[in-house]
Structure 1
Amino acid sequence: MFTLLKAASIYSPDFLGKKDILFCFDKIAAVKNSIDAAMFDQIEVVDCGDKIILPGFIDLHVHITGGGGEGGFSTRIAPAEAADILKTGITTVVGVLGTDGVTRSVAGLYAQAKKLEAGGLTTYMYTGSYQVPVITLTGSIQSDIVFVDKIIGVGEICLEDHRAFQPTFDELARIAAQARNGALLSDKAGLVHFHMGLGEAGLDYLFRMLTETRIPAAHFLPTHVNRTGMLFQQACSYLQKGGYIDLTAGFIPTREDPECIASYDALKKLVDTGAEIGRVTLSSDAYGSVPVFDPQGKLVSSDTVLTGILFEEIKVAIKEKGIPIETAISFITKNPASVLKIQKYKGSLEPGKDADCVICDRDLNIEAVYAKGIKYS
């Protein structure tokens, strides 16, 4: 019934010092300097005196049904498993479809989200895929958001990519309007989540959304914005104008791809320049494909990443780039909880919120993960 984590160094993500955390079933019951275990029956006490405890991580872009397929059926990637995600410290995921909205579907995405939920994760999802017009579950984006418990937005809508469906600005504005109205009726985030490719126009449509519509900036979330230096510079300007941006882990500059910016370098620049980092998130794009195409658009190679890359790059930001722990982990805890409008339950270690936490040693190696009060090693 009760679990008591004793005397850990707590980052909520703000540093709280040495505290005890009491779980009651699946909720955080108390965070105090000292909690007497003798006051409770049926209690498990865990000595965390030399440990660091962080909130459970939130990954808002995971291809939970598997991605790939751009080179035919043999290049499809297998679906995610809950145990593989939980062991990386991630306790909440948002499922997304990508290129393939044909052999994979919104219904299949929902079923996989329910499967992962049964395995211990908290799961949400976007309706639709790269495709415009958007294929939905109930017949409209608005209805999907209102009536389907897990659907918190639409996406990832593909822009500036050879796989995009070449949507017009007016089409995107109508998509955003449906998401906005669905959000109002259901008290959800109503995000329009954009996949950003290599095209030169970059975020032009999103800048226009801020000036030519009255839809609040909080409904737009472009991802992969560290794909190129030019796109990242645009993203910094977009952030200054009140927009929200999502960086992607796994972009490492190489001789073949020198233009991308590693997430930890992008985060370092944003922190050092005094950007509004509360509107910045980091996601893994895990289980999706990382394809390489030749100049004729033929697939040359395809790879994937797993969710573990999310915290690995946060650790680089902390250990090598000098970003404080409380700042670095906010990009995968507090910030995505706010963007997804789930901060009532997720993102920090406070009484009343879900009992999600990650126990690390002093070198930030994960030793245990609790998801809704249940321990996963």
Structure 2
Amino acid sequence: MNINRLAAIARKETLHVLRDWRSLTLALAIPLVLILLYGYALTLDLRLVPTVVWDQSRSAASRELLELYAGSPYFSIRDYHEGYDDLQRDLDSGKAMVALVIPGDFAGKVHSGKPVAIQVIGDGSDANTSRLALNYATAIAAIYARNIAAEQMELKGRGELKQPVEMVQRSWYNPDLRSQTVLIPGIIALVMVVVAAMLTSTTIAREWETGTMEQLISTPLRAPELIFGKVVPYFVIGMTDVALAVMIGKWVFDVPIVGNAGLLFALAAVFLTGILFFGLLLSIRLKSQVLANQMAIITGFMPTLLLSGFVFAIENMPLPLQFLTYIFPARYFIAILRGIYLKGIGLEILWIDALFLAIYALLMMVAANRAFAFKLE
């Protein structure tokens, strides 16, 4: 491999990138747009779920219970109704996602120490939100029941109610359980896949479509020199995008890197190399910019979004899909990102994931090199 010829191709591709300011702007703007869009729009947190109430008791006890719901960050009481028809109308229209029904004998049973049931109705058309809302509603009702039991114990002169078992909860690595803390590392992987595959999936195909491949074939260039020269400028752009995404994650979403930032960028470079050569392989095989770009989205973006553990836990997928995830490098890179970002761990734990990334990058290099032929079909 001649370094001078490789550098000449790299300069040629760099000049093309700089002249095509639209593509360069798009490549640098995509991280900003994606990380802001997904960071704000894609959230697993439950906040201020619209709630309607049918309070048949209309007592001090029921108002005390409703104050707990209204004071929580999870529920926003929008209206009070007088029947199931009104509740159903609001649930049907989407005005509310949760309905609370307090029976008429609520206060009497509470003060007499008898069990009483309140009804919580969730909009099951949004299964995830409904499930979380029902769980939070149950937890708030349990807090109210415990407070009532403690008050009754004090009134009877038995002292303070003591729990035989007290559970102390701690959430390591994400104490506030913020969904952004978990999602931002995954978004960085998504940004890298989109940008890298999009940029290199068209580079060789463009040479074929514009007819400049004949000029390259007539030169003494060898396949590795052309391929590596094509990748160099896009590698620089990709690593710039990683730096931008990391800075946005820290400054906008307050998600700093807990572990070794140098290790993160080093492994990001390995992952980026594999994705760049994957995009180049598509460009070589398909020889069409449009088709190569579409295939890059289908085979890069979609698996990263759906089959990497970014949004959906791999353990909850059907067994065949769990096995399928092993062939996608984003699975390993997201594990690395979360390990370094959130836990601060290093290669002593992440070495297997790093090894798979290195193997993938090497395979893509070899495949792209062998796929390229200096001849016209």
Greater Cα radius of gyration, structure 1 or 2: 2
TM bin (shorter chain): under 0.3
Query: What TM-score results when the alignment is normalised by the length of structure 1?
Result: 0.24
Q: In proportion to residue count, which structure has more strand?
A: 1
Query: What TM-score results when the alignment is normalised by the length of structure 2?
Result: 0.24
Q: In proportion to residue count, which structure has more helix?
A: 2
